[in-house]
Amino acid sequence: MRFSASLIAMILAPACLAADFAVSVGAANSFAFSPTQIFPAPGDTVTFTFLSRNHSATTTTFDTPCPPPDGGTADGFDTGFLSATTGQTPSATVTIVDTAPHFVACAQAAGAHCRMGMVMAINPTAEQPFAQFLANAVA
């Protein structure tokens, strides 16, 4: 009995191909995530790196983004507040487990950063595009 090379490749492929998507938070003192939308696959990771002030990356709803719910949405995540005010640049990594859209906002100042447009989207869709999510946040 022998195992085909293609079967072995299929088993190994997910781990080998998992990618990390880097998202900066507050670059150059901005109230912004960059990039504002990413399209990871299940098994990929997203690493948020906090470059200024004191922010969070917290999942929220498309329709009512600000402020995000405490701890994020049930199907999402919350990095908690991470501060770069002492010269450190903390980071947090989350693993994406599905293909559903996830909308992310900063929870700081009871949603004030969010209302300034400090939001980003993971796997936004044609029905729920980033531009409309941003418009919902700053409305």
- Binding site residues, Cu ion, CB under 5 A: 55, 106, 108, 113, 118
Q: Which does 30 bind (CB under 5 to 8 A by kind): Cu ion, ligand NAG, none?
A: none
> Which residue lies nearer to Cu ion by CB, 110 or 135?
110
CA torsion 131→106→80→94, rounded to 10°? Answer: 20
Q: Do residues 87 and 66 touch, judged by C-beta distance below 8 A?
A: no
Q: Which does 21 bind (CB under 5 to 8 A by kind): ligand NAG, Cu ion, none?
A: none
Q: Are strands 37-38 and 119-122 parallel, antiparallel or unpaired?
A: parallel
∠ Cα 95 96 100 (to 5°): 160
Q: Which does 55 bind (CB under 5 to 8 A by kind): Cu ion, ligand NAG, none?
A: Cu ion
| Residues from 100 through 119 that contact ligand NAG (CB under 6 A) | 108
- Only one of the segments 57-65, 79-87, 89-97, 124-132 lies at the binding site for ligand NAG (rule: CB under 6 A); that segment is 79-87
Which x/- pattern over 45-64 shows residues binding ligand NAG (rule: CB under 6 A)?
---------x----------
The footprint of ligand NAG (CB under 6 A) covers 54, 81, 83, 85, 108
